[in-house]
Structure formats: structure tokens, C-alpha cells
Structure 1
Amino acid sequence: MMFFFILITGTMITVSSNSWLGAWMGLEINLLSFIPLMNSNNLMSTEASLKYFLTQAMASAVLLFAIMMEYLNNFPITQENSMYNDLIITSSLLLKSGAAPFHFWFPNVMEGLSWMNALTLMTWQKIAPLMLISYLTQSKFILLVVITSTIVGSLGGLNQTSLRKLMAFSSINHLGWMLAAMQANESMWLIYFTFYTFLSFSLIFMFNNFKMYHINQLFNSFFNSKILKFMLFLNLLSLGGLPPFIGFMPKWLVIQMLVMKSQYFLMTIMTVMTLITLFFYLRLCFAAFMLNYYESNWTMNSFVNNASFKTMLILSFISTFSLILISMIYLFL
């Protein structure tokens, strides 16, 4: 609990800081409190925490270097110098958040974490770097990162059997959308991030309850409970952004913003790449629904009367029917 509280404090320091040095300090506090949370006394988590520490420490060092360059007054800061500094700062923050082409550590670290730590890494740990990126104006570089993130996030997930890696590549794809939302509108990325956090939580809550880590576990689970199976896969499709689920709404808003800004090329690439992510989600659903797998007896417990089951049902209902309800309310008003 103490480390979790320090983790939250670190992010808050970064977000509320009015100087780059204060922001860097918040990032460091956040990093140092997350590493003890990652370690679950097994080889995988130890390796993941070491990889995470090394990449984040490197990003922090580069960020500190760029901040010091900003603060040095030994030479007159020209427009060109300032631009390069902004580029270095943006790159180090993108490395911290795990956006492509700085994404190589992210799936490997995710693979070694428990589901709750993976959720923290996918959501909370992105708030501080993204907030700092939104202060910078590196539009051309960010647009390049948006394109690479959406491409890597969609193509990287095609060949995966691990659910954690699949969620990691999905996260990289969504990060591309968040950065595009950031370029389109200052607060739009926060709306997208909120939706993404909710959908990730509702999926990971289910994975964590049933201790699922690989795709084949999805196939031979819930043989007796069809409701759970439907809930799981509707949540997956919602995360992919398929209408008429709520996951489509933030994508819809971003597409609308990009069209208003006349960025048709970027919007087309992002939409096509999202279709690829939807393809591998649909592939999971087809295999699980169409083929009749038998479930091992010990995996089916009396779960239906459980409080967790009710929580899953509520989350899935919101995820599945919210967009339809919002549209109906809007029509009647």
C-alpha cells in the first residue's frame, strides 16, 4: 500500500509541477515505487523489473540531460537549439510511455508481470509522460510516432499467443490514437485515455479472476457458462473499437477531429490498422465460439453467485450497451 501511494504521488508531482526539474523528480519517484510492486519473487517478474528499470533509467537520464541543456545559459538559445531540445525531451518521454519506435521493452516487461501490475503499466504509468508530451509542440515528429505506433501495435499482435503480449501491442496501438488525439485537441487524449482505462480494467479484471495468460485458456474456459464467454469477447471487441460498443466512441471522436483538421492520410492509416487489431480479436472470438471445446472440471467453480461475477456483468453491460444508450438519450433530447 505504501509503494502504491508513492506511485500515485509521483505521478501527481509530475502532473502538477511547473518546472521540468520537478516533473523529472516526479517521474523518478514514480519509477522507484513501481519496481518493488512489480517484483513477485519469481524469475519472470525479476527479469521484467530489471528491464523496466534499465529502460526507464536511460529515458530519465536523457530527459535530465535535455533539461540541463535547456537551463544552460552559457550560449544564446537559438530557435534551432530549442527545437532539438524539444525533440530529445519528446523522445525520452515516448520511451517512458512505450510508444513505437521506442516500444521494444514494453511487451517483454508485460510478459513477466501479474495482471494487476500489467494494468498499472498500461494505464497509470502512461499518465505522467503523456501529460508532459502534451506540453511540447513537436507535431511532425509526433505524427511519425502515431503512424509507427498504430502499425506496430496492430501487426505485432497478429502472431501472439500470450494474452499479456496481445494486450501490450493493443496498448501500443491505443497509444498511437492518444497521441493523434493530443495533436487534434488538447483535452481529447484524456477522454480517450479514460475510455481505454475502463475497457482495459473490465478485461483484465476477468483475466485475473480466471488466471488466464494464454489464448488456449480462453478456448477451453466457460464451457458451462455462456454468459461469461459472451461478456469476455464483447469486451474484447469493444477494446478493438467495433461499433456499436463503447470502445468505438473515443475512436469516433478522434476520427472526427482529424477530419476537421483535414488530416485524411493519417486518419486512413490509423483506421486501417485498427481493422487489423479487430481482425485478431475476431479470430479469437471465432475460434472460441465456433469450435466446441471441453472444459476441465477443476476450472469451473461456483462463480455465478460471486460478487466478482456481478462486477463483471455490470462492467460488460456498460462496455456493450453504453454507446447505444448515449445515442438514444441524445436523440430524445
Structure 2
Amino acid sequence: MFKNSSKILFSLILMSGTMITISSNSWLGAWMGLEINLLSFIPLMNDTNNLMATEASLKYFLTQALASSILLFSIILSMLKINVTFQLNFNYIYMINMMTLSTLLLKSGSAPFHFWFPGVMEGLSWNNNLILMTWQKIAPLMLISYFSMKMMFFVVILFSVLIGSLGGLNQTSLKKLMAFSSINHLGWMIAAMISTESLWMIYFLMYSFLSLTMIYFFNNFKVYHLNQLFSMFLESKSVKFIMFLNLLSLGGLPPFLGFFPKWMVIQYLTFNNHLFLMAMMTMMTLITLFFYLRICYSAFMLNYYENNWYTQVNLNTNSMNFYFIISFISLSGLMFMNLIYFLL
């Protein structure tokens, strides 16, 4: 990642752009932070070893530039005070709010504005994918949380969980699988936003941690497709087993840590009588868990075909120790949380 000083520079600018957005007290300042963030991420996307990186960075730039231009246009429209009676018209204000919210949803990659997200993920390295799935969502999500348009949120949540779950079916590319998983989780995060500010932040932090555990593994062993998972680690069944358990944790299967934020969101939606929304979200997540389980089935049963020859994987002790530590937190975090709760 940090092979030269320019990468460090652009990474610092990337972080400062997000900080400008979330600490801004005006829409213009927030837009400026988003632009700084975008223009610093483009150089980080370039990779001489990956021919698809240029295409992915162009797709990302065009989509984000379109969203930024419409966002600026809607900000200017909201600031115009040409006609006071027209300005105070409810439909006019609602239209501007919807336009602004749509651009932020496009920036974050939520459905139905997700069309660019899987394609860009496919073309990037695992490190850049982690940034795109976690850090790049902080600023748009923070701005989305300022809105209180429940009906629009409900539509976006349903689209996100539907597309995130159905899109992952029959995917062989792990990058696209992670992309559709991210779209699904975005639906849950927006559902958490309806309740409190802290709930979606907790969900986001846990999702970021679980994504780190998966992407650390994929990047360390240069895994990009499903068939690689089945033909690797034949000499170390435990590594393969833990990796698939982490995948189920990301899907939100109890009793793993990934279930905890979903549990809190389900509890809130039930208390507030959003039963249809909660039922739809839960059903769509079960589809996600179905294809995760289908991937994990052969590894859990340990009855898959083994090649007579296979590439020996070098299990670096330090990296594996770190992976086992974060996996332990991911797999047993929920039990420890319950224990602490009952003790307190």
C-alpha cells in the first residue's frame, strides 16, 4: 500500500477530506470535503499490476463527479431566495431534499443507485476495496443521517437488502460477493439511522471490523475467486474453517459478532411497529446467509475433492497470529458482550 511517499500524502488528504465533511456546518463545506476526498482517492486506485484499476478509477470518478455536480446544484437551489412564497412551498423543499439525498445515496453506493459499485470493486485491489467499503462511506452516511425522510428511507432500505441479497447469488468473484454484501449492510445501516445516531455508528464500526477480517485474509493469500478457496489450505483445515466462520459472521449468523448489530436494529424496528420492514430485511438476510452457507458447506463437511497436487501456502506466523486474534473477536465477541451485560 505505502510503497512511496505520495501514497501516504494522498491517504492523509483522503482522511482530511472526510473529516472536513463530517465537521462542516454548511452544505458547501460538506461538498468541498467530499471533493477533496474523491480527488485524493483516485491516485490511490491506480495500480500498475492491475489492468482493471484504470477502468475502475474512471467509473468511480465519473459517478462521483456526477453525484457531486447534482449535489452542488441542489445546494444552490436550496440557497436561492428569488421568490419567498415559492421557496417556502413544501413540494419545492421536499424535491430539493430528495435530490440531495439521492446524490448522497449514489456516493455511498446504496441501491437503487448501486450500479457502479460492483464494477469498481472488481477492478480494485483488496486494500482499496477495504477503503471503498468502509472509510469512503463515512462522509455520505453522516450527511444522510441529517435527513428525516422516512418514506424515502424505507424504499432505499428495501431496495438495498433486496439487491444486496439477490445480487450475491451465483457470484464466483469474491470482490463482487463483498460488494453485494456491502449493499445489503448499507440497507441495515440506513434502518439503524431511523432510530438513533449512535446505533448506525455501532453497526458501521462492527461491519468495518468484520470486513477487515475477511479482506485481511483474502489479501494475505491473494484469493480472488471461490474456486481458489476450495483448492487452498488443504494442509491446514483450521485456517479454512475459521475463514468460513468469519464469512458467516459477516452474514449475521448467531452466535457470532455480526449478529449483534442486526439484533439491535431488529429490536428497534419491532418496538416501533415497523414490522413489515423488519420482516423483509430479515428474509433478505436469510437469502444472503443461504449463499454464504452454500459456499461454506463443502468446507464444513470436509468432503470436497482434493487435488493430487496443490500449491503450498506459506503461513507466515506473525500474520496468522494477527488473523487468529481478530477472528477470535469476530467469532466470540457476542458471547463476551452478553456476559459483560449480565455481570453489569
| TM-score, normalised with respect to structure 2 | 0.94
Find the aligned partners of 2:275 and 2:169 in 1 and give their Cα distance: 26
SS at the partner of 1:159? coil
Find the aligned partners of 2:149 and 2:286 in 1 and give their Cα distance: 28
Aligned twin of 1:29: 36
SS at the partner of 2:233? coil
Aligned twin of 2:54: 46
Query: Which deviations, in whole Å up to 9, do the C-alpha atoms of 1:145-202 show, x marking residues without a partner?
Result: 0000000000000020000000000000000000000012222110100000000001
Find the aligned partners of 1:288 and 1:215 in 2 and give their Cα distance: 12
Matched, 1:72 2:80: yes
Shift of 1:104: 0.5
SS at the partner of 1:204? helix
Q: Are 1:223 and 1:293, in contact at CA under 8 Å, matched by a contact in 2?
A: no
Query: Which deviations, in whole Å up to 9, do the C-alpha atoms of 1:100-141 show, x marking residues without a partner?
Result: 000010000000000010010000000000000111121111
Find the aligned partners of 1:247 and 1:271 in 2 and give their Cα distance: 14
Runs in 1 of length 4+ with deviation above 4 angstroms? none
Aligned twin of 2:167: 156
List aligned pairs for 1:218-233, cutoff 5 A. 218-233=229-244
Q: Are 2:232 and 2:311, in contact at CA under 8 Å, matched by a contact in 1?
A: no
List aligned pairs for 1:150-299, cutoff 5 A. 150-290=161-301, 291-294=303-306, 296-299=309-312
Q: Are 1:199 and 1:239, in contact at CA under 8 Å, matched by a contact in 2?
A: yes
Matched, 1:319 2:330: yes
Matched, 1:128 2:136: no
Q: Are 1:233 and 1:285, in contact at CA under 8 Å, matched by a contact in 2?
A: yes
Shift of 1:297: 3.8
Find the aligned partners of 1:233 and 1:248 in 2 and give their Cα distance: 15
Shift of 1:71: 1.0
Aligned AA (2:337)? I
Find the aligned partners of 1:161 and 1:65 in 2 and give their Cα distance: 40
SS at the partner of 1:187? helix
Find the aligned partners of 1:316 and 1:281 in 2 and give their Cα distance: 17
Q: Which segments of 5 or more consecutive residues in structure 2 lack a partner in the other structure?
A: 1-7
> What is the root-mean-square deviation of aligned Cα atoms in Å?
1.1
Aligned twin of 2:5: none
Q: Which segments of 5 or more consecutive residues in structure 1 lack a partner in the other structure?
A: none
Find the aligned partners of 1:168 and 1:299 in 2 and give their Cα distance: 29
Aligned twin of 1:330: 341
The percent identity for this pair of structures is 62
Find the aligned partners of 2:240 and 2:70 in 1 and give their Cα distance: 46
Find the aligned partners of 1:19 and 1:327 in 2 and give their Cα distance: 41
SS at the partner of 1:298? coil
Give the one of 309, 313, 317 matched to 1:300: 313
Paired residue total: 331
